[in-house]
């Protein structure tokens, strides 16, 4: 099982990469999503796409990133 902390760490790592590439807007979006994931009482791994999208600061791309990470344990954005 993938914890919310692990998902948030992945999102923050994506944020850091975007920041290093000078893409400040994307970096902020991913950083906010990481905070949102950390605040969840229930595991985001068990949420379906609609449930994930209902979270603040989580849009389509981040839903896909979370789904990929929780099913495979890795993120194609970090490769």
- Which pLDDT score is estimated for 39? 97
- Which pLDDT score is estimated for 72? 94
- Which pLDDT score is estimated for 61? 95
Contacts of 6 (CB under 8 A, 6+ apart): 69
pTM: 0.95
Distances (CA, A) of 32 to 1, 3, 72: 23, 17, 23
CATH code of the region 4-73: 1.10.150.110
Residue of 18, 28, 29, 74 whose CA lies nearest to 55: 29
What are the residue ranges in the chain where pLDDT is below 70? none
The domain spans of the chain are 4-73
- Which pLDDT score is estimated for 66? 97
């Amino acid at each position: 099982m993938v914890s919310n902390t692990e998902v948030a760490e992945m999102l923050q790592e994506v944020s850091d990469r975007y920041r290093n590439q000078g893409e400040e807007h994307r970096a902020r979006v991913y950083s906010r999503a990481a905070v949102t994931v950390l605040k969840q009482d229930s595991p985001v791994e068990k949420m379906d796409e609609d449930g994930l999208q209902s979270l603040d600061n989580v849009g389509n791309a981040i839903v896909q990133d979370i789904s990929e990470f929780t099913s495979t344990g890795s993120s194609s954005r970090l490769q």
